[in-house]
Every structure is written in C-alpha cells, then in structure tokens.
Amino acid sequence: MDTFTRVHVVISLIGILSGLIVLYGMLTANRMNGWTMLFLVTTVATSVTGFGFPFHGVTPAIILGVLSLIVLTAAIAARYVFHLAGSGRWIYVVGSVVALYFNVFVLVVQSFLKIPALHTLAPKGSEPPFAIAQGIVLVLFVVAAILSVKRFHPVPA
C-alpha cells in the first residue's frame, strides 16, 4: 500500500469513527461541535482524496464521491450557514447520515475485497454474503436517519 492510499484510508477511518460519534450525538440531541467538525472535514477529505486515484472513465466510486460531496455541501451549509434553522436541521441530519453511510458502504466493499475470509465468501462482490452485509448496513442507516431526524432538536448554541 503506497503512502497516498494509507493517508486516504486513515482519513476515511477517522471520518467513519467521528461520524458514528456524531450520529450518536444526533440521536441524543447533542451538537457535538468538535466531533462534527472533525467528521465533516475528514469526510470531505475522504471524497476529495478519492479522486486522486488513477481512473479511466466514470466508475461507481467516482459517482459515489460526487454524490458524497453534494450531500456534504448541503449538510455543511445547513449546519454552518443556516445554523440548523427551519429545514436546515433535517437537511444537516440527512446529509450527514447519508455521507456516513456512503463511507461505511465503501468500508464494507473494501473489507470484502481485502480481508481474505470475507473475500472467500464473496469474491465477485455480488454473492449473498456481500448483499446481506450491505443490506444490513443500509437498514441500520435508514433507521438511524429516521430516528435522528425525530430526535435531533438541539438547544440553540
């Protein structure tokens, strides 16, 4: 693994870990300002550095990176420009949860590609174990998004 890939992976893992902490904050109506900044910065950095890998044409990874930057732009604007006012609250929550889901989706993909035991279960990435894992992740994030939208009504800063 080269240095660029290592940096990208470390940034991604920091984004996922901090994102899970922020998700907990949303579920408990806690702004978690420092964690939120770390999550948003590292998640943007993950998407941006993802474009630094060699590619030929549009791939699913490129599309996911663009979609991630779109939802992150909306989440950042809702949080820091509109200060969660009005629809800004749910836009921030949904955008953040979707961006985190995208990173976890990629984590599952990479896990099935790189971890021998998982790769054996789904060498093509289309077998039932892979689909089941991604389905579980999707369901968990949909539930988390719904609960976060309902619960994240933080006290104004």
Cα distance between residue 68 and residue 103, in whole Å = 9
Q: What is the pLDDT of residues 15-37, one digit of tens each?
A: 999 999 999 999 999 999 999 99
Contacts 24+ apart (CB under 8 A), 51-54: 52/4, 52/8, 53/4, 53/5, 53/8
Report pTM.
Answer: 0.95
Rg over CA atoms, the chain:
16
Q: Is the pLDDT of residue 157 over 90?
A: no
Lookup: tokens for 112: 């099935």
Cα distance between residue 19 and residue 101, in whole Å = 9
Nearest residue to 33 (alpha-carbon basis) of 51, 21, 45? 21
Q: What is the pLDDT of residues 88-137, one digit of tens each?
A: 999 999 999 999 999 999 999 999 999 999 999 999 999 999 999 999 99
For the four alpha carbons of 77, 81, 83 and 87, in that order, the dihedral sign comes to negative
